[in-house]
């Protein structure tokens, strides 16, 4: 059977170059599959046509925005997904969805290979290939940028030689990945850690220094899911899109960080995720009100581990599935409203209400008439510190014995 390569196609430099190159190297047809994940910019027809212009035998485009929001962004909201406490997993959560549709396309179009445009230095090669192996281990995997030692300058030269319709040039060498959940920018002058991002690098957010008037928004949740904004019912996708617009206008969600990549190197990335940051901020605030203390403490550990599993490309792994089940069980009472002030690059919580709240005004107030029995506190404090008190007593005695012996 002739080789048929199903390629994860983005329309950018690496995957556009991959179409003719894979056709030549594997002597077969290339089927380009592109997903609309809310990245904006070009319309799907332009992306589809570019793949054909680059030599694809077939070009498939899929509108997956709602699927992405409901099945990938929503679990990230519930898990407060932030790798290293900062990065809202913009690219990481899109890869398993792309894998799902590539495998499906390979099965429907008699594909023999699946391919991606990732290099050997990044995390995405792991996310794609582990996903492929999990979903259909019979498919051969090829990564031209990695397997054939492509570099960005060589890719640009090859594209120019083939007169491929791409946007990158030697003067604009950024690698950009974006979807409705956020935007990631790397390479170019950002590889020098001392170089600050330039204003023209940003697309999802306005400069916080512009001083736009504060914007107050009320986000309503049911069982951890955003369901309304300012009282208007919304889908998860609509919630993300509206908060991308409103939080983005305030410069919220900008991130310049050096992250620990799975392959062992540190890498600088600049992210924009205004909607993601606003939604996770609100969700965490509502959890603070509705989730019991010990459960909340443990969930914070699970959230961090969940984020690491997803970042490391293990979306389909058994640990991730078990963590999903735990997180989902914690969301039963995460219902209510959070009011945020969006201003000067920050999403600040200034109001909370929930009929599932564990906050008891009568217990919390310091005014006359509170119902908290402070006479119980003295005994509680002594018992709470008893074990450490005993240990410190022993350690002091040991130190005194050692001093006498000296």
**Crossing angle between the packed helical segments 386-405 and 377-384, to the nearest 10 degrees:** 50
Under 8 Å between Cβ of 289 and 119: no
Please, what sign has the CA dihedral across residues 141, 142, 147, 151? negative
Name which of 357, 208, 187, 186 is nearest 270 in CA terms: 186
Residues whose CB is less than 8 angstroms from the CB of residue 57 and which lie 6 or more positions away in sequence, other chains included? 4, 29, 30, 31
Q: In the structure encoding, which two tokens stand for residue 336, read together?
A: 């209510």
Written as one string, the DSSP assignment of 69-84 is: IIIIIHHHHHTT--BT
Q: Which residues pair with 348 in a beta bridge?
A: 341
Q: How far apart are CA 50 and CA 159, in angstroms?
A: 13
Q: How far apart are CA 132 and CA 114, in angstroms?
A: 8
182-186, strands of its sheet edge to edge: 175-179, 182-186, 266-272, 254-260
Looking at 112-201, which runs of residues are DSSP E strands?
Answer: 113-115, 140-142, 175-179, 182-186
Q: In the structure encoding, which two tokens stand for residue 80, read together?
A: 């407060």
Q: Give me the residue label for tokens 């996708």.
A: 237
Q: How far apart are CA 10 and CA 59, in angstroms?
A: 11
Cβ-based neighbour number of residue 165 at 10 Å: 14
Residues whose CB is less than 8 angstroms from the CB of residue 69 and which lie 6 or more positions away in sequence, other chains included? 38, 180, 235, 236, 237, 240
Catalytic residue ranges: 14, 95, 124, 175
Under 8 Å between Cβ of 47 and 53: no
DSSP state of 241: H
């Amino acid at each position: 059977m002739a080789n048929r390569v199903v390629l994860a196609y983005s329309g950018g430099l690496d995957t556009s170059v991959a179409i003719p190159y894979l056709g030549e190297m594997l002597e077969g047809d290339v089927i380009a599959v592109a997903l609309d994940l809310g990245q904006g910019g070009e319309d799907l027809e332009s992306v589809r046509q570019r793949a054909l212009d680059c030599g694809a035998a077939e070009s498939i485009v899929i509108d997956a925005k709602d699927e992405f929001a409901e099945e990938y962004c929503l679990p990230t909201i519930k898990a407060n997904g932030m790798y290293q406490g900062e990065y809202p997993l913009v690219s990481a959560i899109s890869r398993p969805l792309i894998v799902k549709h590539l495998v499906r396309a390979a099965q429907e179009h008699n594909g023999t290979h699946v391919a991606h445009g990732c290099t050997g230095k990044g995390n995405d090669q792991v996310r794609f290939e582990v996903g492929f192996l999990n979903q259909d281990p019979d498919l051969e995997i090829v990564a031209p940028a990695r397997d054939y030692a492509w570099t960005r300058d060589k890719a640009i030269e090859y594209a120019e030689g083939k007169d491929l319709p791409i946007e990158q040039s030697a003067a604009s060498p950024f690698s950009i990945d974006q979807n409705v959940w956020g935007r990631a920018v790397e390479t170019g002058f950002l590889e020098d850690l001392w170089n600050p991002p330039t204003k023209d690098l940003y697309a999802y957010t306005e400069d916080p220094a512009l001083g736009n008037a504060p914007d107050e928004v009320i986000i309503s949740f049911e069982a951890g899911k955003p369901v309304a904004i300012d009282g208007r019912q919304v889908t998860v996708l609509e919630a993300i899109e509206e908060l991308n617009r409103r939080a983005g206008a305030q410069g919220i969600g900008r991130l310049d960080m050096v992250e620990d990549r799975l392959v062992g190197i540190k890498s600088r990335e600049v992210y924009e995720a205004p909607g993601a940051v606003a939604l996770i901020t609100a969700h965490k605030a509502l959890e603070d009100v509705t989730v019991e203390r010990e459960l909340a403490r443990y969930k914070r550990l699970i959230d961090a581990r969940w984020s690491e599993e997803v970042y490391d490309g293990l979306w389909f792994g058994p640990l991730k599935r078990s963590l999903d089940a735990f997180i989902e069980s914690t969301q039963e009472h995460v219902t209510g409203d959070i009011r945020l002030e969006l201003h000067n690059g920050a999403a600040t919580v200034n109001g909370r209400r929930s009929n599932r709240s564990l906050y008891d005004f009568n217990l919390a107030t310091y005014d006359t008439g509170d119902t908290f029995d402070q006479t119980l506190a003295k005994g509680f404090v002594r018992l709470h510190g008893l074990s450490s008190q005993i240990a410190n007593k022993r350690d002091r005695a040991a130190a005194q014995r050692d001093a006498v012996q000296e």
